[in-house]
Chains A and B, each alone.
Chain A
Amino acid sequence: MPTTAPTAHALSDVTASDSSLRRFLHGLPGVDAVGLEARAAALGTRSIKTTAKAYAIDLAISMVDLTTLEGADTPGKVRALGAKAVHPDPTDRTTPATAAVCVYPDMVAVAKEAVAGSGVKVASVATAFPAGRAPLEVKLADVRAAVAAGADEIDMVIDRGAFLAGRYLKVYEEITAVKEACGTSARLKVIFETGELSTYDNIRRASWLGMLAGADFIKTSTGKVAVNATPANTLLMLEAVRDFRAATGVQVGVKPAGGIRTSKDAVKFLVLVNETAGEDWLDNHWFRFGASSLLNDLLMQRQKLATGRYSGPDYVTVD
């Protein structure tokens, strides 16, 4: 698997200044919104049945970053979440574990303990999530604290204000600083909050900016705004990681987050991955779902496939 080597790639000169970044990002091919959405919708009509569906559901479960990001989070809640991540379906031990649990930095230690020994990763949002409106030093302290508590993955937010104001170098430098704070132990997911970037052209530019700055993953959203992951914005980001690898040899992961609630939706996203970035990304090292309620729907579908009966919410756990 290609490894991340952000400073060595062929595009390092474009990050020299605000203006060189701007020239590069604005030189990327434009995105036609209607065409993009039509393609995403067309892929959404793929019909995934029987063995393919069983495979897709297990794959999707294994890609879930099981998330709780609430002011009311407690150690108890996080422990329950951890248990669920490790054994999503207590009645069926063949069910794969989720990829990670995703929590706020102060819950990392609890989460770490809850999933210890399972292989399930602990991801932490950081950098003054979700708004990101804090001084850089505060953001970096946030990251360092999470990493110190044992976070395997850091989900940062970009400075959307700077991005929309055209201060690409500021966004770039913040990401590189966070990447440095992650050290070698934590993988970095960069959240663009696509719903706030407003245009597909911006999402493509942000994707490249994030990847140039060393993102291990690019992620759609925080789940805290009106519009989160959509098939179209995820398709666009999948195109970006595909093209970035073709240009630099560096593979970057993609994480749609927020708004994906049903198995049917999740399978559609996997189809997008399969037909856009390709099978190299069909692995939880390279693709994740940021979600909470999705998991139970996946489990019910899994039970349905196993038994032939439709399941119900009483047969999956509410944690």
Chain B
Amino acid sequence: MSEQHNRLSVFKTYKLYVGGKFPRSESGRVYEVSDTKGNWLANAPLSSRKDARDAVVAARKAFGGWSGATAYNRGQVLYRVAEMLEGRREQFVREVADAEGLSKGKAAAVVDATIDRWVWYAGWTDKIAQVVGGANPVAGPYFNLSSPEPTGVVAVLAPQESSFLGLVSVVAPVIATGNTAVVVASERAPLPALSLGEVLATSDVPGGVVNVLSGRTAEIAAPLAAHQDVNAIDLAGADESLAKELEVAAADNLKRVLRPQPVDDWFATPGIDRMTAFLETKTVWHPTGALGASGSSY
């Protein structure tokens, strides 16, 4: 046998995911991402406010098609994401273990729960309207129906600690209901989020529906919170003082704001609150025939 040497591995260049493409930050900046012990893992793009702007444009562009798709179709697409994740399971176990300092076994449990969460939300797409909408028995000759509709472009600050399960737990409910998202990955552990972009790109999710940015949360979130074409913001990944600052900025165009809430256990079954937080209720009235006393009730 010939002399053996350790094969030099191929590093991955982590890139942003915006509008279905994988650009570098327009700023040309990157920052070092380390594991919990401080070992260098990779460089990640250090997004700028212009990257945030581009992501909002992409998300807005995608909103019409995604919100207009049938709920069944969205469910199929989200389920496809779960299928793709399953295929990349080993990769995510490694990335989550590195990102969160977990044993391989614990990281595997996290990844399994994450995939199962996609499946859970995939099933919600065509049920939420029946749960939160419905006919209203108004006191008059009118048909009156309330239906939930996606609010639009949602900025999502992913949780800082739970880099994958937490991430998916905040992103999936936003898009399941037809919103499009600009996601700011966990600042310290962005790699699972950036890899998720690769999964989404190969899962029939239309480009722009989810856009993933990495970098300094505060730096990227500020322009998103103030952006007049962003309809809502999930502050899950913001600390107390940043959250307040962003909520103040969000008032400029009255964004729907989901304040950061303590999550003890990302494994617990989520309720529907993360979906309803980014749903509008539209109520449509129409006359029925008249009540009939007149003989000409049509």
Q: Are B295 and A194 in contact (CB under 8 A)?
A: yes
Q: For the complex formed, measure the closest distance between the CB of B142 and the CB atoms of chain A, giving whole angstroms.
A: 7
Q: For the complex formed, measure the closest distance between the CB of B203 and the CB atoms of chain A, giving whole angstroms.
A: 47
In the complex, the chain A residue whose C-beta lies closest to that of B297 is A33
Q: Are B290 and A34 in contact (CB under 8 A)?
A: yes
Q: Mark A12-46, 1 if CB is under 8 A from B, else 0.
A: 00000000000000000000111101000000000
Q: For the complex formed, measure the closest distance between the CB of A57 and the CB atoms of chain B, giving whole angstroms.
A: 25
Q: Mark B185-215, 1 if CB is under 8 A from A, else 0.
A: 0000000000000000000000000000000
User: Which of B142, B287, B296, B298 sits near A227, CB closer than 8 Å?
Assistant: B296
User: Which of A35, A37, A197, A201 sits near B294, CB closer than 8 Å?
Assistant: A37
Q: How far is the CA of A303 from the CA of B60 in the complex (A)?
A: 73
Q: Are A232 and B288 in contact (CB under 8 A)?
A: no
Chain B residues touching A, majority SS: loop
In the complex, the chain B residue whose C-beta lies closest to that of A34 is B287
- Of A37, A195, A230, the most chain B CB neighbours within 10 A belong to A37
In the complex, the chain B residue whose C-beta lies closest to that of A203 is B296
**A74 interface residue (CB < 8 Å to B):** no
**B289 interface residue (CB < 8 Å to A):** yes
Q: Mark B258-298, 1 if CB is under 8 A from A, else 0.
A: 00000000000000000000000000000111100011111
Q: Are B141 and A227 in contact (CB under 8 A)?
A: no
Q: Are A34 and B289 in contact (CB under 8 A)?
A: yes
Chain A residues touching B, majority SS: helix
**A317 interface residue (CB < 8 Å to B):** no
Q: How far is the CA of A54 from the CA of B259 in the complex (A)?
A: 67
In the complex, the chain B residue whose C-beta lies closest to that of A40 is B294
Q: How far is the CA of A232 from the CA of B293 in the complex (A)?
A: 11
Q: Are A194 and B296 in contact (CB under 8 A)?
A: yes
Q: Are A34 and B142 in contact (CB under 8 A)?
A: yes
In the complex, the chain B residue whose C-beta lies closest to that of A236 is B296
A contacts with B, residue count (CB < 8 A):
18
Q: Are A33 and B295 in contact (CB under 8 A)?
A: no
Residues of B within 8 A of A197 (CB): 296
Residues of A within 8 A of B295 (CB): 194-195, 198, 226-227, 230
- Of B141, B294, B297, B298, the most chain A CB neighbours within 10 A belong to B294
**A68 interface residue (CB < 8 Å to B):** no
Q: Mark B95-132, 1 if CB is under 8 A from A, else 0.
A: 00000000000000000000000000000000000000
Residues of B within 8 A of A32 (CB): 287
Enumerate B131-152 residues with CB–CB distance to A below 8 Å.
Answer: 141-142
User: Which of B287, B289, B294, B298 sits near A233, CB closer than 8 Å?
Assistant: B294
Residues of B within 8 A of A199 (CB): 296, 298
Q: Mark A194-231, 1 if CB is under 8 A from B, else 0.
A: 11011111010000000000000000000000110010
Q: How far is the CA of A207 from the CA of B120 in the complex (A)?
A: 60
Q: For the complex formed, measure the closest distance between the CB of A182 and the CB atoms of chain B, giving whole angstroms.
A: 28
Residues of A within 8 A of B289 (CB): 33-34
Q: Are B141 and A233 in contact (CB under 8 A)?
A: no
Q: For the complex formed, measure the closest distance between the CB of A44 and the CB atoms of chain B, giving whole angstroms.
A: 13
| Given known A-B contacts A34-B141, A34-B142, A200 and B287 have beta carbons under 8 A apart | no
Q: For the complex formed, measure the closest distance between the CB of B141 and the CB atoms of chain A, giving whole angstroms.
A: 5
Q: Mark A267-302, 1 if CB is under 8 A from B, else 0.
A: 000000000000000000000000000000000000
Given contacts A199-B296, A227-B296, A232-B296, 8 further A-B contacts (CB under 8 A): A34-B141, A34-B142, A34-B289, A34-B290, A195-B296, A200-B298, A233-B294, A233-B296
B residues with a Cβ closer than 8 A to A are 141-142, 287-290, 294-298
A-B contact pairs, 9 of them (CB 8 A): A32-B287, A33-B296, A35-B287, A197-B296, A198-B295, A198-B296, A226-B295, A230-B295, A232-B296
Closest A-B pairs by Cβ, 4 of them: A227-B295, A34-B287, A199-B298, A33-B290
